[in-house]
Amino acid sequence: MKSFLSLKSLIVTMLIGCSIIFTYITLTPLLMKAQTLTIFDNKYLFLYSNPFKNNTYIISTDDGRSFHKTTYDINDTPSLIRNHNNELILPAEHISKKYIVKDDYSISEQSQEAPYSFLIDLQDILIEGLNVSYAENLLRVNDRKMNKTYKIKLPAYLANATYDQNNIYVLNYNTTTEKNEIHIINRTTGTLTHSYIISEGATEMLVVNDYLFLSTDNSLTKLDIRSGKIEYIKYPSNVAFADTLYLDQNNDLFVCFVDFSGNAGLLILNKNYNSIDKNINLNLGYMKSKFEKNKLYILSQMKDHTEDGAKFAVVDLRSLKIEQTFQLPVLDTKVQDFLVLDETQT
């Protein structure tokens, strides 16, 4: 009996040993990949953050099935921005600092004169909106292409900006007049040339030829940059509000909107950009969206899961079909932002 047990124990020990060796052989490449992977080797990055909890996470994935989590002991960082130095910038929303995440996931803190209201940092230009006070904000520009650096004081609150080869376009909600305004700054001179009052609710802007389009309440605003004339393209009745705008390689103008059920949809303008040509319901919940290279990426909170659960969807703009959806990990803070990483930028 003893010899039988000894033989049995020997066989079990050998099997366990083989199993451990097999597991090590099969899992080591994955573990080594996770350890050596740099942040910009991923396809998607998701930022989880909360104003009051010192747990901020960056979740990375390539396929939406396996995820890598990095934890930082910071809070109040709702935005995830990639700068021209190939770093991640996490601006604090309510205090005068930002956090810089390097390619190896290491993080550093940098103080500044006021909290950001927005930040654009690309190869040819840096545009910063600084929330200095309730009445006044500061626009700071480092135009690398024009070799000009300057500051312009504007009424609070600076909400967003975009630019083309000639001008910078700054969107703000004037807290004194309670009006939405567009300010146009000439890039050659670095001076403010025009200001216009526009409709309420503007969130995003897009320059198309000599026009500036804005996703305002009830109608798409179309500003003629040369003359200052403003036209309005009324949304269909199912549009609760419009958000992001995109011009694809075929010069089709897309507007991502949210319907009255909280689901995302797409509007496509006609070729003259003066009316809505197509109205598509995507049946996807909506929190935030971004357009990149003929695709629409939509982040949504999952009502049928937990309050912090989220889903991510990829829509192909050529076929207008949902290409991929996946669920994000549920953590103790909520998903705030995401990045789609373009390998050509690395």
DSSP string, 133-153: -SSEEEEEEEETTTTEEEEEE
Residue 189 three-state SS: coil
Please tell me the least confidently modeled range out of 28-42, 173-187, 227-241, 307-321.
Answer: 28-42
Query: pLDDT tier at 244 (50, 70, 90 boundaries)?
Result: very high
Distance, CA of 27 to chain centre: 33
Instruction: Decide if pLDDT at 19 tops 60.
Output: no
Mean pLDDT of 85-92: 95
Judge whether 2 lies within some domain.
yes
Residue 30 has pLDDT above 70, yes or no: no
pLDDT grade, residue 7 (50/70/90)? Answer: very low
Is 264 within the bounds of a domain?
A: no
Q: What is the pLDDT of residue 305?
A: 53
In a domain, 26, yes or no: yes
Q: Tell me the two tokens of residue 227.
A: 């003359």
State residue 259's pLDDT score. Answer: 97
How far apart, in Å, are the Cα atoms of 88 and each of 20, 55, 61, 76?
A: 39, 17, 16, 15
Identify any residues that bridge with 163 across adjacent strands, giving them in sequence order: 168
| pLDDT recorded at residue 38 | 86
**Position 327 in a domain:** no
Task: Give every strand in the sheet of 310-316, ordered side by side.
Answer: 288-292, 295-301, 310-316, 321-328
In a domain, 14, yes or no: yes
| Sign of the alpha-carbon dihedral angle for 111, 135, 211, 319 | positive
Helix and strand totals (H; E) in the chain: 1, 28
11-40 burial string, b = 16+ CB within 10 Å, else e? eeeeeeeeeeeeeeeeeeeeeeeeeeeebb
**Mean pLDDT, rounded, of the chain:** 88
The least confident of 9-18, 163-172, 216-225 is 9-18
pLDDT at residue 44 greater than cutoff 80: yes
Q: For 328-345, what is the mean pLDDT?
A: 85
**Is 295 inside a domain boundary?**
no
Q: Which of 247, 169, 222, 288 is nearest to 214 (CA)?
A: 222
Percent of the chain with pLDDT over 90: 82
**Percent of the chain beyond pLDDT 70?**
86
What pLDDT does residue 306 have?
53
How far is 37 from 31, CA to CA, in rounded Å?
10
Whether residue 213 is contained in a domain is answered as no
Average pLDDT over every residue of 104-116: 95
Is the pLDDT assigned to residue 41 strictly greater than 50? Answer: yes
Q: Bigger pLDDT: 63 or 6? A: 63
Distance, CA of 162 to CA of 138 (rounded, Å)? 16
Structure tokens that stand for 300 in this block: 């949504």
Domain total in the chain? 1
Exposed e or buried b for every residue in 87-98, given b needs 16+ CB within 10 A? bbbbbbbeebbb
Closest CA to 239 of 220, 254, 218, 216: 218
Cα–Cα distance measured from residue 104 to residue 58, given in angstroms and rounded to the nearest whole number:
12
Could you report the per-residue pLDDT of 257-267, keeping only the tens digit for each?
Answer: 999 999 999 99
22 or 73: which leads in pLDDT: 73
| Contact (CB, 8 A) for 39 and 58 | yes
Is 23 within a domain?
A: yes
Which tokens go with 144?
Answer: 């690398």
CA distances from 304 to 190, 297, 309, 310, 344 (A): 50, 21, 9, 10, 37
Q: Locate tokens 């953590």: which residue? A: 331
pLDDT in tens, 272-331: 999 999 999 999 999 999 999 999 999 998 665 555 579 999 999 999 999 999 999 999
H/E element holding 193?
strand 191-198
Mean pLDDT along residues 129-147? 96
pLDDT at 307: 56
Give the domain range for residue 15: 1-36
